[in-house]
């Protein structure tokens, strides 16, 4: 019975991804972000449950990637589609009827928003590589799909909760969004060594980098709210690189 517990948690991740997909298509991006966050929460704890219960399995590995493909692969692609669509329409628009009208008339206008699904394609490629790579156990090569999903989902939340003409002009600039889409695809599949938030034990000495990262991230979230998310992702990448090259030199 206990061997099914991690898989059940993984299916909760998938369920959250399905719900988030519906809200993303309806351009209800606050609810989209909520269910993606819940899905990522379950994604973290399914692996933890498997390690604690000592019930790791090949089925669990494959199921985990399939769930991530929806929650952290498909949904960010749809969100980027919506953001690019808003940039084409001249600004942020949360009106579902206007959005659907735009979708119905897309063949007469730009197909640029569909380039947002480059994120989905890059996520699928990364997850397929991850399943074949036996070296990514205590660390990652390239940005994990959940971290990338949080980066993309932070953009509409910044627009909602940090209203600013400057931020709006930047985030809804189509060239910024295209650049971020390409950067996202690159980070997902590049050879950057990044540490994983997987605790084999709770010792501070064995997890110094993880604890420091979590503490700083918490402080940033409390003080900057959603503006902190892109900064945290950047800090994650930079601290991983510093740690990696520092260990290599030693």
d(CA 157, CA 171): 11
Ordered per-residue pLDDT tens for the chain, 250 residues? 677 787 888 899 999 999 999 999 999 999 999 999 999 998 887 776 666 666 677 777 788 889 999 999 999 999 999 999 888 776 555 444 444 444 444 443 478 899 999 999 999 999 998 888 766 555 788 899 999 999 999 999 999 999 888 998 899 999 999 999 999 999 999 888 887 776 665 666 666 778 888 899 999 999 999 999 999 999 988 888 877 666 544 4
d(CA 54, CA 48): 10
- 114 phi and psi angles, rounded to 5 deg: -70, -15
Task: Provide the residue ranges of all domains of the chain, joining segments of one domain with +.
Answer: 2-249
Task: Specify the pTM.
Answer: 0.84
Q: What local confidence, expressed as pLDDT, does residue 151 receive?
A: 95
Handedness of CA 195, 200, 205, 210 (dihedral sign): positive
Question: What radius of gyration, in Å, describes the C-alpha atoms of the chain?
Answer: 19
Tell me the fold of 2-249. Answer: 1.20.120
Q: What local confidence, expressed as pLDDT, does residue 135 receive?
A: 64
pLDDT digits (tens, 9 = 90+) for 177-187: 999 999 999 99
pLDDT digits (tens, 9 = 90+) for 26-54: 999 999 999 999 999 988 877 766 666 66
d(CA 41, CA 87): 31
d(CA 82, CA 119): 13
């Amino acid at each position: 019975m206990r061997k099914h517990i991690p898989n059940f948690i993984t299916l909760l991740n998938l369920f959250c991804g399905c719900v988030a997909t519906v809200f993303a298509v309806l351009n209800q991006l606050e609810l989209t972000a909520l269910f993606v966050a819940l899905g990522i929460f379950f994604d973290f704890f399914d692996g933890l449950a498997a390690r604690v219960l000592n019930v790791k399995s090949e089925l669990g590995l494959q199921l985990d990637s399939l769930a991530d493909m929806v929650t952290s692969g498909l949904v960010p692609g749809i969100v980027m589609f919506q953001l690019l669509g808003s940039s084409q329409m001249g600004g942020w628009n949360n009106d579902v009827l206007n959005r659907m009208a735009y979708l119905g008339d897309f063949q007469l206008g730009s197909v640029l928003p569909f380039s947002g699904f480059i994120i989905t394609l890059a996520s699928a490629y990364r997850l397929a590589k991850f399943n074949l790579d036996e070296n990514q156990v205590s660390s990652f090569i390239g940005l994990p799909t959940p971290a990338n999903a949080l980066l993309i989902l932070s953009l509409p939340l910044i627009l909602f909760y940090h209203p600013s003409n400057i931020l709006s002009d930047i985030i809804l600039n189509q060239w910024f969004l295209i650049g971020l889409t390409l950067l996202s695809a690159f980070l997902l599949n590049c050879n950057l060594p990044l540490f994983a938030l997987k605790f084999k034990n709770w010792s501070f000495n064995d997890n110094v980098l993880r604890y420091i990262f979590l503490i700083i991230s918490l402080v940033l979230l409390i003080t900057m709210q959603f503006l902190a998310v892109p900064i945290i992702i950047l800090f994650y990448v930079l601290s991983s690189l510093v740690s990696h090259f520092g260990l290599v030199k030693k």
